[in-house]
Structure 1
């Protein structure tokens, strides 16, 4: 479990959520899972459903998803293998739906011309891509711990965030994930160098609630009672302080933005992909799909 400055119960919950995100984050994993949302598929059927994935990429993903308990594998003979969602995999589908809903609302879309009306409209994005793009924003190392810290603190210095999200690492290590969250419009910084959540990241509450419930094996209808991402902000304000550190009287001086390209873990033999950020960028614009 990752070291944090959070109480043990919150830290354990956070660890389960981040591990779940790491399991889903590698590129094409969500596509593989959603391809079997209706029924189990034989290997050759999966290849037809995901034609851009050669055997060298599809087979390792299937092996790892089976090992993680999200897929069941039934072998009839060496040339006839059936894959289907396990019980845990089926329980994950509603969670993926919550993530997709957040992506649909917040991720920027490429505009295209509607030939019927002549107007420019957002380009339709496959549901699996919507989910994958949303996960890519919150799965990188320290992104979710920082967002959880800001959810309770409301506003925080980089020093306090580092002490909470990554107390076993040097203070300067917090700036790379913070810069990425700033670039992705999940965090904003005021003129005093203090950080707070944006509207898009506050709307991640249902996502984290659902992931927390699934990771703990709890019913999703109990997800709204999450101790950090409760629906009523007043509940957070009334809760006693959960942190081992206090806010510094002098705000930390932000370092120049240095955001290294994120590479997902090699758990599923992934490679770097273009990340789509929430809409609402300044007039200069941002990356699109």
Structure 2
């Protein structure tokens, strides 16, 4: 199977998207951004809305978000400081809504008893948590590169996929991230060792094209014309509807609708470097233990 080189413009676009997802994936950053989405708030006001974040966690997050150009600090007078979204932070809010919508529609949910109906219904998850759960799936190293390559190529042999995504590695290097994506329900593998995006993976199109538009400084109205993830969906890629699964640890003091811890915290990842996207080695990942009854988000 031929391995047509990936265009330079696509590589640059892919790298911007991966870096953007990585920037907001750090735990609780999305919660802080969404808390500031309506109006600037004083530190104590933010803290009251996110009571499970103590000073040692909240202050560094505000500082990092300021350094990333998403949050701005305004000093009015002594001891009167507010934090609000910058223009770039405000432009990110519609993108977060798209990610949250994908998470709400495509990620596995626990069922809980509805006291009004007496029936078990899917758990209602806060929008910020849907975004964090989605990012937990999309930010591990090589994930975006693999998903984009499968979007461009359709049904692909594992060898051909490896030659595009990880050309300087041995064939077996592609298997750990690929197995995870199959387990998470974003990729399907057949008996002939060919892989393709699942229906859930294809449903990521609005997520990736909106992030791409934001990362490039373009209006979201242009997202539908994305060269890789724009409409229409390639006709060769079909499959049964599935739901992706992931796990996210939440402290016991989290607000209503946020789950208690299920897995260890994610290990920190190395910063992105230019050229890493298709050639970086795969870092070790923390062990994840599935609770009884299978994986949870």
TM range (shorter): 0.7 to 0.9
Tell me by how many angstroms 1:176 deviates.
Answer: 1.2
Aligned partner of 1:117 in structure 2 is 117
Aligned partner of 2:139 in structure 1 is 139
Contact 2:42 2:83 in 1 (8 A): yes
- In structure 2, the gaps of 5 or more residues are 238-264, 272-284
Flag the 1:236–1:41 CA change in 2: closer, same or farther, 3 A.
Answer: farther
- In structure 1, the gaps of 5 or more residues are 238-260, 277-283
* Corresponding residue pairs, total: 253
Flag the 1:234–1:184 CA change in 2: closer, same or farther, 3 A.
Answer: closer
Aligned partner of 2:32 in structure 1 is 32
Flag the 1:231–1:167 CA change in 2: closer, same or farther, 3 A.
Answer: same
Give the number of the structure whose residues are more often helix, by fraction: 1
Contact 1:70 1:89 in 2 (8 A): yes
Aligned partner of 2:221 in structure 1 is 221
The higher-RCO structure (CA 8 Å, 6+ apart) is 1
Out of 256, 269, 274, the position equivalent to 1:265 is 269
1:152 corresponds to 2:152? yes
The whole-number CA distance in structure 2 between the counterparts of 1:225 and 1:71 is 29
The whole-number CA distance in structure 2 between the counterparts of 1:272 and 1:48 is 32
Aligned partner of 2:95 in structure 1 is 95
The whole-number CA distance in structure 2 between the counterparts of 1:206 and 1:273 is 31
Q: Deviations over 1:20-65 (max 9, x none)?
A: 0000111101001000011111111111111111111111111111
Q: Deviations over 1:60-114 (max 9, x none)?
A: 1111110010111112456332110000000000000111111111111110111
Contact 1:25 1:136 in 2 (8 A): yes
Aligned partner of 1:54 in structure 2 is 54
The whole-number CA distance in structure 2 between the counterparts of 1:275 and 1:226 is 37
Q: Deviations over 1:142-175 (max 9, x none)?
A: 0011000001111112221122122233332211
Flag the 1:275–1:45 CA change in 2: closer, same or farther, 3 A.
Answer: farther
Aligned partner of 2:107 in structure 1 is 107
Contact 1:5 1:167 in 2 (8 A): no
RMSD: 2.6
Aligned partner of 1:188 in structure 2 is 188
**TM-score, L = length of structure 1:** 0.81
Tell me by how many angstroms 1:286 deviates.
Answer: 3.2
**TM-score, L = length of structure 2:** 0.79
The whole-number CA distance in structure 1 between the counterparts of 2:33 and 2:286 is 20
| Matched ranges for 1:60-79 at <5 A | 60-76=60-76, 79=79
Contact 2:154 2:236 in 1 (8 A): no
Contact 2:224 2:231 in 1 (8 A): yes
Aligned partner of 1:208 in structure 2 is 208
